[in-house]
Amino acid sequence: MLNKFVQFLKVPELRRRFLMVILLLVATRIIVLLPIPAVDIAQYKAGLAEEGAVNRALLGNIFGYLNLISGGALDKLSIGMLGVSPYITATIILQLLTMIFPKLKEYYYENGAVGRAKFQRLGRYLTVPLALVQGFAFLKYLAAQGGIITAMELPAMALNLLFIVAGSLIMIWIGEMISEQKLGDGISLIIVAGIVSGLPRSIITQILVMVGQYQSTGTLLGIGIDKVLILLALALVVVAGVVLVNEGERKIPVAYAKRVRGNRVFGGSTTYLPLRVNQAGVIPIIFAISILMLPQYLGLGLRSLDIGWAIKTADFIEATLANPLWNGLLYFVMVFAFTYFYTFIVFEPNEIAKNLQRNGGFIQGIRPGASTAEYLNSIIAKLTLFGALFLGVIAVLPSIVQAITKVANMTIGGTGLLIVVSVALETAKQIDSELKIREYEIA
């Protein structure tokens, strides 16, 4: 792999595109460092430090989720505090609408690149109101918690919301610029950059805590060295599992009939159709995180109203999502469901069957056309079952390990690990394909 990367950097065009991606990712980290105006950041950090445990419990998982996908922007209350979360949520809503309105789905697929471009444009439009609602709910909740931030008047609130929405839109624009370099998906790379950027500080902090605990109690993280080694071994197993499942595929043999055109013979060969175990990649995890934040934002907004029924509803939402069992169960179910949902959106058995039939291809023992589509549909349903179970287990694995080992804060969670490894694999594949294209052109 290192040799391929060296070859990649030797190509001037690819080297230029790679440097452009790095510069754009650095730009996203600069955005994270810019705080929103009309807020005393020193007061905000002091408020979290004084009542950090209480406030984060009331915030449910929003703090952790947004910090995960924005790379600590929420800790700094920056203009990029929402990151690409509103855009991801908007994309989910639009894709759900394709299931409700068949014509919308038909337009999306039949118009190809034009339809996808229109969907992206609609997603950007929908991002604006979603970012406004999320930003307003979060700021109102922080203002309602005395000592975190000062309550804002309408002009100050409007100014902050303007910067928050602008920050999200700039992040999305940078993500699209990265995608245009064809070295990976821009939105995914921004999320990975956020996760990776926080690792050095988290690891150093965790090491210092562990050293202090070892000197005072003779244990690491309060669980002993043996269990720490078990956690490290478990992390390696998870990484290996992610690689195996992401790379795993079932090869469906496809034969092509011989066709004679003039003096030339076409077809008569045998190849295979690769069906991946995890067709959806890391998207279901991101979808589930975004959807799980919506009821929590609703709870924050209702609590800020300071009305009896609204506060009771907010208490119910927070109590349900604060329960590790219910939270973990909801997370698992949503990841499982979104894996099937996204797989059957991106994988179209009918289109594949039509393309095979047009090109004289067929699966041995299966009639071309509708029978081929049904066969592919049944195969992908079985494969997706395993992939969905795997993604669901990886998503809730940190919670299970924390419950068993009593470790309150794990530096690298299963979700972050899955996102980083999956995106790294996909980016490596794109780099490899770019090299193969150039080798073909030279040959």
Give the CATH number for residue 319. Answer: 1.10.3370.10
What percentage of the chain reaches a pLDDT higher than 70? 73
Taking 60 as the threshold, does the pLDDT of residue 54 lie above it?
no
Asked if 292 contacts 334 with a C-beta cutoff of 8 angstroms, the reply is yes
Half-sphere exposure (Cβ direction) of 424: Cα atoms closer than 13 Å: 14
Give residue-wise pLDDT tens across range 202-236: 666 666 666 666 566 655 555 556 666 766 777 77
Reading phi first (left if > 0) and then psi (alpha if -120 to 50, else beta), residue 83 is in: left
The pLDDT of residue 166 is 92
Taking 90 as the threshold, does the pLDDT of residue 99 lie above it?
no
What residues have CB less than 8 Å from 274, skipping those under 6 apart? 249, 250, 251, 252
Evaluate whether residue 418 is within a structural domain.
no
Find how far residue 230's CA is from the centre of its chain.
Answer: 27
- Bridge-based pairing of strands 249-256 and 361-363 is antiparallel
Evaluate whether residue 341 is within a structural domain.
yes
Evaluate whether residue 427 is within a structural domain.
no
Taking 80 as the threshold, does the pLDDT of residue 76 lie above it?
no
How much is the CA Rg of the chain, to the nearest whole Å? 24
SS (H, E, C) the chain: CHHHHHHHHHCHHHHHHHHHHHHHHHHHHHHHCCECCCCCHHHHHHHHHHHHHHHHHHCCCHHHHHHHHHCCHHHHCECCCCCCHHHHHHHHHHHHHHHHCHHHHHHHHHCHHHHHHHHHHHHHHHHHHHHHHHHHHHHHHHHHCCCCCCCCCHHHHHHHHHHHHHHHHHHHHHHHHHHHCCCCCHHHHHHHHHHHHCHHHHHHHHHHHHHHHHHHHCCCCCCCHHHHHHHHHHHHHHHHHHHHHHHCEEEEEEEECCEEECCEEECCCEEEEEEECCCCCCHHHHHHHHHHHHHHHHHHHHHHHCCHHHHHHHHHHHHHHHCHHHHHHHHHHHHHHHHHHHHHHHCCHHHHHHHHHHCCEEECCCCCCHHHHHHHHHHHHHHHHHHHHHHHHHHHHHHHHHHHHCCCCCCCCHHHHHHHHHHHHHHHHHHHHHHHHHHHHHC
Evaluate whether residue 293 is within a structural domain.
yes
Taking 50 as the threshold, does the pLDDT of residue 411 lie above it?
no
Q: Is the pTM here over 0.85, yes or no?
A: no
Range from 119-128, 148-157, 355-364 that averages highest in pLDDT: 119-128
Evaluate whether residue 236 is within a structural domain.
no
Q: Residue 431 corresponds to which tokens in the numbers above?
A: 């780099």
On whether both 276 and 360 belong to a single domain, the answer is: yes
The pLDDT of residue 53 is 41
Taking 70 as the threshold, does the pLDDT of residue 409 lie above it?
no
The pLDDT of residue 173 is 92
CB-CB neighbours of 128 under 10 Å? 16
Taking 90 as the threshold, does the pLDDT of residue 415 lie above it?
no
How confident is the model over 47-72, as a mean pLDDT?
Answer: 57
Domain span at 9: 1-197
Evaluate whether residue 210 is within a structural domain.
no
On whether both 4 and 68 belong to a single domain, the answer is: yes
On whether both 30 and 168 belong to a single domain, the answer is: yes
Evaluate whether residue 277 is within a structural domain.
yes
Evaluate whether residue 182 is within a structural domain.
yes
Q: Residue 232 corresponds to which tokens in the numbers above?
A: 């490290």
Give residue-wise pLDDT tens across range 353-366: 888 888 777 887 78
On whether both 165 and 277 belong to a single domain, the answer is: no
How confident is the model over 90-115, as a mean pLDDT?
Answer: 74
Taking 50 as the threshold, does the pLDDT of residue 57 lie above it?
no
- What is the number of structural domains in the chain? 2
